[in-house]
Structure 1
Amino acid sequence: MLDRDVRTYYDRGGERTRLDGTLELLRTKVLLERLLPAPPASVLDVGGAFGVYATWLADRGHRVRLVDPVPLHVDTAAREGVDAVVGDARSLDEPDGGWDAVLLLGPLYHLLDRADRVAAFAEARRVVRPGGVVLAAAISRWASTYEALLTELGTVPGFADLVRAELATGTRRDSVDLPHGFTNAYFHRPDELPGEVADAGLRLSDLYAVEGMAHWIPDQVARLSDPDFRALVLDLIARTEREPATIGATSHLLVAARRP
């Protein structure tokens, strides 16, 4: 069952535009294009929200199904032509080995217990074909620390205490009614992810910094609209995406794994 506070947060519909023009979107597409099988392939997009990646992948020739626990997301995506169903990453209504690739670009953030995160990875392993790829996104343990230091959130009452708790435990217990407006979430240390992947029976291929240090560029969306600057940013991140220091400094991490 989806956490009530998480459901309240996503029922507000913010995921429809959250990624517009962002480095997170640009870089995730770069990594998906590189790491997914060439089209046409079958891709299960678990936690795919309104379908920003599902529609992009379908346009590229993949067969895509979106699974999400939020009915608003699923209903909206379905109206826009996406094959979309309500479901839970920890218990997928899909046959064994039925997909060439599985995306977990949202679920890990909101599974606070390690056992639930391993269960999501294990379900991805079950439904992907032998040799198939599983790509999963995680939020860095230090993402909120950078926000506190580099943005106005550092002065919002109560935010610093949330950050201190995250640094200690990885867990944020938040309310959508507070000024910073997020919800309950888990923030990974990079060195936690290989163990979660292995315990689910997957073989880790690599770990990537999605935005790297560039996530913290001021006026990011506006500056990335300049094609020359965007090309420079994407080039430099690609050159440092697997460096341990930048994996720690990024806001989002991408895990690439395969079913043996």
Structure 2
Amino acid sequence: MGSEAYQPDNLLDGLSSPSAMEVQYEHLRDRERRLLAPLLPAGGDVLSVGCGWNPGRHVFPSPGWRMTGVEPESEKPDALVAEGVLDAGLAGSAGELDSLPDGSFDAVLYRLVLHHVVFQVPLEPVLAEAARLLRPGGLLVAVEPGLWHPVGAGLALANRLGAGPAVH
């Protein structure tokens, strides 16, 4: 579970070796921990939207944090619940989480997902949904690849050339 999903058929992943990508992802996970640890309470309920195979447990550790993961394909959150990585999981997409009650979470996490969402739906309703799901004083956490990250650099170039949807 500690590794990010390397997909050799993805153009941007295919430009780097799996070991190089793992070094980049470990750097990213360490940076996330350092940046977020001082801002987070000791625990609560967190929603990881677009949780994939690495929903952010390194930032929101259990048992303090109860994590619910959402992913369009239900097999990912179901498998992570079975492994004990997630406390709950459901199929769903950013901007389409009407079944979840208002004020259900102390934190909503979009970890390496908004750069996918932006090509599918407008971000404003997605972020409004996060605000609806947060309890008063809750935190919206968005982690995206920067230009130092190979995927971030590739996405920036693709977006600049108007080819973002075709590349990622």
Match of 1:74 among 70, 77, 95: 77
The sequence identity of aligned pairs, in percent, is 27
1:89 counterpart = 2:94: yes
Bigger-Rg structure (1/2): 1
User: Moved runs in structure 1, 4+ residues, more than 3 A?
Assistant: 17-21, 112-115, 139-148, 162-165
Distance verdict in 2 for CA 1:114–1:89, change over 3 Å: closer
Q: How far off is 1:146 after superposition? A: 8.5
> Structure 1 counterpart of 2:103, which letter?
G
1:171 paired with 2:145, answer no
Read off the aligned partner of 2:37 and give its amino acid letter: E
Whether 2:126 is the aligned partner of 1:116: answer no
Matched length: 148
- Please name the residue that 2:31 is paired with: 27
Distance apart, 1:141 and its partner CA: 6.3
SS in 1 for 2:64: coil
1:111-165 deviation per Cα after TM superposition (whole angstroms, max 9, x unaligned) = 23485222221111110012211011223468559867xxxxxxxxxxxxx8754
Q: Deviation at 1:60?
A: 5.0
Q: 1:131 aligns with which of 128, 132, 137?
A: 137
Mapped to 2, the partners of 1:145 and 1:91 lie a distance apart of 26
Q: CA deviation at 1:109?
A: 1.5
Normalised to the residue count of structure 1, the TM-score between the two structures is 0.47
RMSD over aligned Cα atoms? 3.4
User: Any gaps of 5 or more consecutive residues in structure 1?
Assistant: 1-5, 10-16, 149-161, 175-183, 185-260
Per-residue CA deviations over 1:66-120 (Å, capped at 9, x if unaligned) read 1112334212202112222111111113111111111111320102348522222
How far, CA to CA, are the matches of 2:106 and 2:152 in structure 1? 36
| Residue equivalent to 1:103 | 109
Q: TM-score, normalised by structure 2?
A: 0.69
